[in-house]
Amino acid sequence: MAQRLATEYVKTCLQLTEDELQQFVSMFVSEQATLQVKVLDNGNQEVVLQDDGGQEIVLPFEWVSGRYVCEGSCTITNHRLVNAMRKAVNHFKGSAVVKRIYTGYTMIYHYEQGAVRKIIEQKNGREQTVYEYKDTIGMLERMFRSRDVELEIERTYNQINQLLDLRNDLKGMNLNHHIDERLQRLTQKLFALEA
């Protein structure tokens, strides 16, 4: 198995409550990470992690509308920290673009709502999709529940029937031309809807 050189969190977004921020910190502590939490004057916080070789990884959490929001990027080489970050993105339903860098190629993971939605292999300047999530069941359910067209067809049939009844009731009056024009438009609409 190839040796991972580094993991780069290119676009990361986590939105945490105050309690969840404490859980986030606890996840890294349980992975025996050396960290420091800095509380800034404006209520924002920074979680500073020590990576291999003493490199600091700063994760800024900005207080926005009652939540701590972390948006940014970082590169992590320590496997325990990488594991903790992956768990955090998953657990807190975060979104991220994560590049796992190996010798000769890179695997790019796209996370949405904490789940992997797409994996791309980048090698020799080319990209190949390895995995892509497709919500087939959800799509079929939405299509099944989407009855907008059927309801519109039913309304159009009702309008046509009402106009035909009106046309029969108004025999001999000069309104048939207007009714026929309206019937023609509704028939064209019905044809388009049923196609």
Q: Which domain holds residue 182?
A: 140-194
Q: Pairing between strand 67-76 and 95-102?
A: unpaired
Helices and strands of the chain, counted as H and E runs: 5, 9
Q: State the pLDDT at residue 62.
A: 95
Sign of dihedral through CA atoms 114, 112, 86, 122? Answer: positive
Q: 17 and 67 in contact (C-beta within 8 Å)?
A: yes
At residue 60, the pLDDT reads 95
pLDDT value, residue 172 = 66
The answer to whether residues 75 and 19 belong to one domain is yes
Rounded to an integer, what distance in angstroms lies between the CA atom of residue 195 and that of residue 193? Answer: 5
In the 8-state DSSP scheme, what is residue 50?
Answer: E
Strand 4-16 relative to strand 35-39, pairing: unpaired
Say whether both 88 and 150 belong to one domain. Answer: no
Q: Where is the domain boundary, 118, 133, 148?
A: 133
Residues in the chain, pLDDT under 70: 1, 172-173, 195
Q: Give CA–CA dist 58/4, Å, rounded.
A: 22
Q: Which of 133, 148, 163 is the last residue of a domain?
A: 133
pLDDT in tens, 101-134: 999 999 999 999 999 999 999 999 999 999 999 8
Looking at the structure, do residues 66 and 25 belong to the same domain, yes or no?
Answer: yes
